[in-house]
């Protein structure tokens, strides 16, 4: 635990709000500079382009990006040494390049990256396979990614940083020893109320709802499952909301039709889906007609396996840790219809995003710790972690299996994991960390990061 975290955990809630806001202002410096505003204006114009013009732009960006990567990444220069990159003239020509996966990047990370850490924005991913990876973004890349997200939301009426938003995410905002029923902190820098997704028990949810009614957000974003838990509570208890958001923007987990219907029924507004990743994958966003569009200015999606719809991604906003034909592990069903979308934005459509799961584990007090938060257990683990699996047979008790690179793994990394677990599951929950030679896969050949063997439990 770092000194700032110790200060935070032992400070009164009012000072914690101040620390959250200071952190927000610091983060904004790497997100909302000139490149952000330039790209935001570009994207507004890009929406009016014809499909042919957009595809030509995508092709040019791809060729430029591949050239940059070969000149600046030792790993890719070696990987492409026997390939004539001048032959990459069309999107289809990407197939001439080899596929890379997370383990390849992890093992060679110092040769993959093209910028020093001190000049980069650091990103962490636990991933649905529990394999940790630390990636670097240039500030320019990060600002472009923020512009894309904000442009997506602006299309349906929400103006980021001008309007209020409520966010359910995996931030450690509630101290483990806190007794007050205050499970949110305010980030003044973005007019954002951040809600803990770790304390959503039946007993606590009335406090969440009361806070939302007081804050009256213009939009709600974050973990889909957390939002559904809140909506289910509101509907079960017939609670009246005194605000109507412009939109809901779930992230990190796959939307279900029943969950979408619940959210739209309770909050009386539309839900808009999106796809990206902590590694920096290209974007898929949902338009005002609730159709999923591939954002051609952000990168390229390819099908890796037609049967499972698993995709490869090449992202134009990953100059720090480049992703070219990266096997991200997600499945996406493309829409082959040639009919244009009624929103008048011309781009390829996506039928379904299948990649993220709704797995969860129980904390000791009955809160569902969702898949996004469980993946985030490993986001601060160094690149020495190869794979992890969480197993639960009893509520509040979790066994974590770790497959590690013994050459560089240190005992203290277990303490990082225990600290993450404490903040996500609380003091009453127990964790047993076990190092194993290999984590077995399922009979289907798939790997499961979360194995919940607990039958349905009523904690009320």
128 pLDDT higher than 80: no
Q: What is the CATH number of the domain that holds 224?
A: 3.40.50
Full domain range(s) for residue 292: 34-147+276-353
Is pLDDT of 260 > 80? yes
Determine the Cα–Cα distance for residues 350 and 348; give it in Å rounded to an integer.
7
- In this structure, are 198 and 213 located in the same domain? yes
Q: Which residue has the tokens 């394999």?
A: 131
127-141, 356-370, 385-399, 440-454: least confidently modelled range: 440-454
Whether 257 maps to a domain, the answer reads yes
**Structure-block tokens of residue 16:** 């914690």
pLDDT at 455 over 90: no
**What is the pLDDT at residue 446?**
58
- How confident is the model at residue 256, as a pLDDT? 82
Q: What is the pLDDT of residues 1-38, one digit of tens each?
A: 689 999 999 999 999 999 999 999 999 999 999 999 99
Q: Quick one: 313 and 410 in the same domain? A: no
Per-residue confidence (pLDDT) for residue 358, from 0 to 100 = 47
Q: Which one of 271, 291, 313 terminates a domain? A: 271
Q: Distance between CA 34 and CA 31 in Å, rounded?
A: 9
- Residue 255 pLDDT > 50, yes or no? yes
Q: What is the CATH number of the domain that holds 400?
A: 3.30.300.30
Residue 58: CATH number of its domain: 3.40.50.12780
CA distances from 459 to 62, 239, 338, 363, 428 (A): 52, 21, 50, 11, 15
**415 domain residue, yes or no:** yes
| Closest listed residue to residue 222, CA positions, set 294, 271, 290 | 271
C-alpha span between 45 and 11 (Å, rounded): 47
Least confident stretch, 166-180, 255-269, 310-324, 435-449: 435-449
Domain membership of residue 460 (yes or no) is no
Query: Is 234 inside a domain boundary?
Result: yes
Domain match, 248 and 179 both: yes
152: in domain: no
Reported confidence tier of residue 449, pLDDT bands at 50, 70, 90: confident
pLDDT tens digit string along 395-432? 999 999 998 888 889 999 999 999 999 999 999 999 99
pLDDT at 131: 63
User: Do 228 and 307 fall into the same domain?
Assistant: no
Could you tell me if residue 457 is inside a domain? Answer: no
Specify whether 227 is located in the same domain as 372: no
Q: Rounded distance, CA 405 to CA 384, Å?
A: 5
Segment 167-171 mean pLDDT: 91
Give 147's pLDDT tier (boundaries 50, 70, 90). Answer: very high
Among residues 330, 326, 304, the alpha carbon closest in space to that of 105 is found at 326
- Among 304, 320, 353, give the residue marking a domain's end: 353
Domain count, the chain: 3
**Which pLDDT tens digit goes with each residue over 218-252?**
999 999 888 998 999 999 999 999 999 999 999 87
Using pLDDT thresholds of 50, 70 and 90, give the confidence band for residue 127: low
* Closest alpha carbon to 285 in 207, 350, 210: 350
Say if residue 187 is in the same domain as residue 255.
Answer: yes
pLDDT of residue 382: 80
Residues 142 and 280 in one domain: yes
Indicate whether 176 pLDDT > 50: yes
Q: pLDDT per residue over 45-93, tens digit each?
A: 999 999 999 999 999 999 999 999 999 999 999 999 999 999 999 999 9
Judge if 61 and 84 occupy the same domain.
Answer: yes
Are 196 and 230 part of one and the same domain? yes
Please report which confidence band the pLDDT of residue 126 belongs to, taking 50, 70 and 90 as the band edges. Answer: low
Q: What average pLDDT does the structure give for the chain?
A: 91
Residue from 165, 175, 188 nearest 251 by CA: 165
* Three-state secondary structure of the chain: CCHHHHHHHCCCHHHHHHHHHHHHHHHHHCCCCHHHHHHHHHHHHHCCCCHHHHHHHHHHHHHHHHHHHHHHCHHHHHHCCCCCHHHCCCHHHHHHCCCEEHHHHHHCHHHHCCCCHHHCEEEEECCCCCCCEEEEECHHHHHHHHHHHHHHHHHCCCCECCECEEEEECCCCCCCCCCCCCCEEEEHHHCEEEEECCCCCCCCHHHHHHHHHHHCCCEEEEEHHHHHHHHHHHHHCCCCCCCCCCEEEEECCCCCHHHHHHHHHHHCCEECCEECCCCCCCCEEECCCCCEEECCCCEEEEEEECCCCEEEEEECCCCCCCCCCEEEEEEEEEECCCCCCCCCCCCCEEEEECCCCCCEEECCCCCEEEHHHHHHHHCCCCCCEEEEEEEEEECCEEEEEEEECCCCCCCHHHHHHHHHHHHHHCCCCEEEEEECCCCCCCCCCCCCCEEECCCCCCCC
Give the residues across from 221 on adjacent strands. Answer: 167, 249
Other beta carbons within 10 Å of 270 = 18
Range from 186-200, 239-253, 261-275, 296-310 carrying the lowest mean pLDDT: 296-310
What pLDDT is attached to residue 308? 77
- Asked, for residue 458, whether it belongs to a domain, the answer is no
Residue where a domain stops, chosen among 317, 333, 353: 353
Rounded mean pLDDT, 338-357: 85
> Mean pLDDT, to the nearest integer, of 151-179?
95
pLDDT score, position 407: 87
User: Could you report the per-residue pLDDT of 324-337, keeping only the tens digit for each?
Assistant: 999 998 889 999 87
* Same domain, yes or no: 306 and 233: no
Both 22 and 58 in a single domain? no
* pLDDT over 60 (residue 445): no
| pLDDT value, residue 357 | 45
In-domain check, residue 385: yes
Do 311 and 337 belong to one domain? yes
């Amino acid at each position: 635990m770092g000194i700032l975290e110790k200060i935070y955990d032992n400070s009164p809630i009012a000072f914690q709000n101040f620390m959250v806001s200071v952190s927000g202002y610091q983060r904004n410096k790497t997100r909302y500079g000139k490149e952000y505003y330039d790209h935001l204006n570009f994207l507004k114009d890009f929406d009016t382009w014809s499909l042919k013009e957009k595809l030509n732009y995508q092709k040019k960006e791809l060729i430029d990006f591949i050239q940059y990567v070969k000149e600046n990444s030792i790993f890719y220069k070696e990987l492409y040494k026997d390939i004539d990159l001048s032959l990459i003239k069309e999107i289809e020509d990407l197939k001439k390049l080899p596929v890379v996966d997370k383990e390849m990047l992890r093992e060679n990370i110092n040769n993959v990256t093209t910028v020093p850490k001190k000049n980069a924005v650091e990103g962490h991913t636990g991933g649905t396979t529990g394999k940790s990876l630390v990636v670097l973004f240039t500030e320019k890349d990060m600002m472009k990614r923020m512009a894309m997200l904000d442009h997506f939301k602006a299309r349906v009426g929400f103006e980021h940083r001008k309007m209020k938003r409520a966010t359910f995410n995996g931030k450690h905002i509630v101290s483990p020893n806190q007794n007050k029923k205050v499970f949110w902190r305010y980030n003044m820098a973005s007019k954002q109320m951040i809600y803990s997704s770790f304390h959503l028990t039946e007993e606590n949810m009335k406090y969440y709802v009361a806070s939302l009614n007081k804050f009256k957000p213009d939009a709600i974003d974050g973990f889909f499952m957390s939002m559904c838990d809140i909506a289910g509570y509101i509907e079960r208890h017939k609670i009246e909301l005194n605000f109507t958001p412009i939109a809901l923007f779930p992230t990190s987990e796959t939307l279900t039709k029943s969950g979408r219907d619940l959210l739209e029924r309770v909050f009386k507004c539309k839900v808009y889906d999106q796809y990206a990743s902590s590694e920096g994958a290209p974007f898929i966003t949902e338009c005002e007609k609730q159709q999923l569009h591939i954002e051609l200015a952000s990168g390229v999606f390819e099908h890796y396996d037609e049967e499972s719809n698993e995709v490869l991604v090449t992202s134009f906003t990953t100059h720090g840790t480049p992703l070219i034909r990266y096997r991200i592990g997600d499945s996406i069903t493309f829409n082959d219809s040639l009919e244009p979308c009624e929103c008048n934005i011309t781009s390829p459509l996506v039928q379904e995003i299948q990649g993220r799961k709704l797995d969860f584990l129980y904390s000791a007090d009955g809160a569902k710790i969702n898949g996004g938060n469980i993946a985030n257990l490993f986001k601060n683990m160094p690149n020495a972690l190869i794979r992890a699996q969480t197993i639960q047979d009893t509520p509040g008790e979790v066994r974590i299996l770790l497959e590690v690179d013994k050459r560089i793994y240190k005992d203290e990394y277990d303490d990082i994991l225990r600290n993450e677990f404490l903040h996500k599951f609380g003091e009453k929950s127990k964790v047993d960390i076990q190092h194993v030679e290999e984590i077995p896969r399922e009979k289907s050949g798939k790997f499961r990061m979360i194995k919940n063997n607990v039958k349905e439990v009523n904690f009320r």
